[in-house]
Amino acid sequence: MSLFKAENLAINFGGVKAVDGVNFEIEKGECFTIIGPNGAGKTTIFNLISRIYDSTDGTMTFDGQDITKVPPHAIASLGIARTFQNIELFEHATVLQNLLVGRHCHSRTGLFSELAFLPSVRRAEVAHREKVEEVIDFLDLQHYRESLISNLPYGVRKVVELGRALCTEPKLILLDEPSSGLNVEETQDMSFWIDDIKKDLGITVLMVEHDMKLVSEVSDHVLVLNYGRMLAHGSPQDVQNDPEVVKAYLGE
């Protein structure tokens, strides 16, 4: 059974049909990529999955559960984490604190025990820290642990955001243009990380990306959107050779 399934998904903003009857399925353990021209509706699909927008039509199923109507804050604990195209970190906090917020959906301590900082809270905090340190090691962020986000260069922020998503220990991770703003070397790193996320951590990846090199390296399936509709669907090689895709997206 597939991990995630979108059926006939649609949303419109006023007159703009941003997403219009999209169907796709993501298998467990794969890397599924959505590509398409600017404004095709890729990010909107992410926003629909993380329930920031209410779809006007269609259903979404995750792990056998209908998530079309769950509240947005419940998505993380179901096992879906995401990054943002424009980077949405907590600017006035340190990298460490940002990653710890990623642990929020796993915290079970009550308000009053927190006010007293009971030993149970301390234990839970240490446990969260351990998990966060794993992610820091994984992404080579040691150097930035205590830096304020507002002082970090763009590329590092992208990685921190990825780390924050990993801290939620998701089953499905949504990456919105993970390589944008990264140079070749860093894109290369990103491609390794995505591979590791998929293979070592066993997390399914849903990605939006414009760098076709990265897409070909890591994706198992590619979905091409244009004007909110599906244009093509298949392996990275297939879609890159599709003349429609070349015309609308890749350019001659």
Partner 1 sequence: MSDTILKVRNIETYYGPIMAIRGISLDVRDGQIATVLGANGAGKTTILKTISGIMDPQKGVVEFDGREIQKRDPDWVMRQGISHVPEGREVFPFLSVNDNLLMGAYTRSDRDAIAKDIELVHSYFPILKERADQPAGQLSGGEQQMLSISRALMARPKVMLLDEPSLGLSPRLVKEIFTIIKRLNVEQGMTMLLVEQNANIALHTADFGYVLEVGRIVMEDTTENLLQKEDIREFYLGIQDHGVRGKRRWKKRKTWR
Partner 2 sequence: MRFLFKTDYDQDIRIAKHSGYYWSYGLLLLVVIAAPFFLESYYIGQMTQLYIIAIAGVGLMLLAGYTGLVSLGHAAFFGIGAYTEAVMTGNGIPLPFMDEPMVFSFLVSMPMAAIFAALAGVVIGIPVLRLTGIYLAIATFAFAIVIEEVLSRWESVTNGYTGLLVESLYVGDLELSDGPPFYFLCLGLLILVILMSINLLRSPTGRAMMAIRDSEISAQSMGVNLARVKTTAFALSAGVTGLAGALFAHKLGFLSPESFTVFQSLELLVLVVVGGIGSLHGAIFGAMFVLALPQGLAILKDYLPTSIAETPGMEPFIFGLILVLVIIFEPYGIYGRWLKIKHYFQMFPVYKRATFKRQKAYMKSERLK
Partner 3 sequence: MFEFLQLVVGGVSIGCIYALVALGFVLIYKATEVVNFAQGELMMLGAFLAYTFISILGWNYWVGAAAAIICMFFAGNLVDRVFLRPVLGQPQFSIVMVTIGFGYMARSAAGMMPGWGTETYAISTPFSSEGMQLIPESMGSLVISQTDLSVIIATVILCAVLYTFFTHTRLGIAMQASSQNQLAAYYMGIPVKAVFSMIWGISAAVAAAAGILLAPTTLIDTSMGFIGLKAFPAAVLGGFGSIPGAVVGGLIIGIIETLAGFYLPPGFKNVAAYVVLLIVLVVRPQGLFGQKTGKRV
Ligand X SMILES: Nc1ncnc2c1ncn2[C@@H]1O[C@H](COP(=O)(O)OP(=O)(O)OP(=O)(O)O)[C@@H](O)[C@H]1O
Binding residues vs partner 2 (CB under 8 A)? 50, 52, 71-77, 81-82, 84, 88-93, 96-97, 100-105, 107, 109, 111, 114-117, 121-122, 125-126, 129-130, 133, 164, 168
Residues 168-187 binding partner 1 (CB under 8 A) are: 177, 180-187
Segment interacting with ligand X, rule: CB under 6 A, options 11-19, 56-64, 86-94, 100-108: 11-19
Evaluate the CA torsion angle 88, 103, 189, 145 in order and state its sign.
Answer: positive
The CB-of-152 to ligand X minimum distance in angstroms stands at 6
Residues 14-73 binding partner 3 (CB under 8 A) are: 43, 47, 52
Strand-pair category, 31-35 with 204-208: parallel
Q: Rounded to 5 degrees, what angle do the CA atoms 3, 130, 206 make?
A: 25
Long-range contacts (CB closer than 8 Å, 24 or more residues apart) made by 104-109: 104/76, 104/168, 105/76, 105/77, 105/168, 106/77, 106/168, 106/169
The alpha helices in 1-55, defined as continuous H runs, are 42-49
The option from Mg ion, partner 1, partner 2, none interacting with 133 (CB < 5 to 8 A, set by class) reads partner 2
Single residue of 88, 134, 196, 200 touching partner 3 by CB under 8 A: 88
DSSP-based three-state secondary structure for 20: strand
Distance CA 252, CA 242 (A): 12
Evaluate the CA torsion angle 115, 117, 120, 125 in order and state its sign.
Answer: positive
Counting contacts by CB under 8 A, is residue 146 touching partner 1? Answer: no
Counting contacts by CB under 8 A, is residue 210 touching partner 1? Answer: yes
The option from partner 2, Mg ion, partner 1, none interacting with 90 (CB < 5 to 8 A, set by class) reads partner 2
196 token code pair: 């590791």
Segment interacting with partner 1, rule: CB under 8 A, options 23-31, 36-44, 89-97, 106-114: 36-44
Counting contacts by CB under 5 A, is residue 43 touching Mg ion? Answer: yes
Place of tokens 């939620």: 168
Residues 121-180 binding ligand X (CB under 6 A) are: 150-155
If the CB atoms of residues 117 and 192 are measured against partner 2, the closer one turns out to be 117
Single residue of 6, 9, 10, 18 touching ligand X by CB under 6 A: 18
Which residue sits closest to Mg ion, CB atoms considered? 43
DSSP bridge partners of 72: none
Counting contacts by CB under 8 A, is residue 38 touching partner 1? Answer: yes
Distance CA 180, CA 225 (A): 19
Counting contacts by CB under 8 A, is residue 212 touching partner 1? Answer: yes
Strand-pair category, 57-62 with 4-13: antiparallel
Binding site for partner 1 (CB under 8 A): 13, 16, 35-40, 43-44, 85-86, 151-156, 177, 180-188, 192, 210, 212-213, 248-251
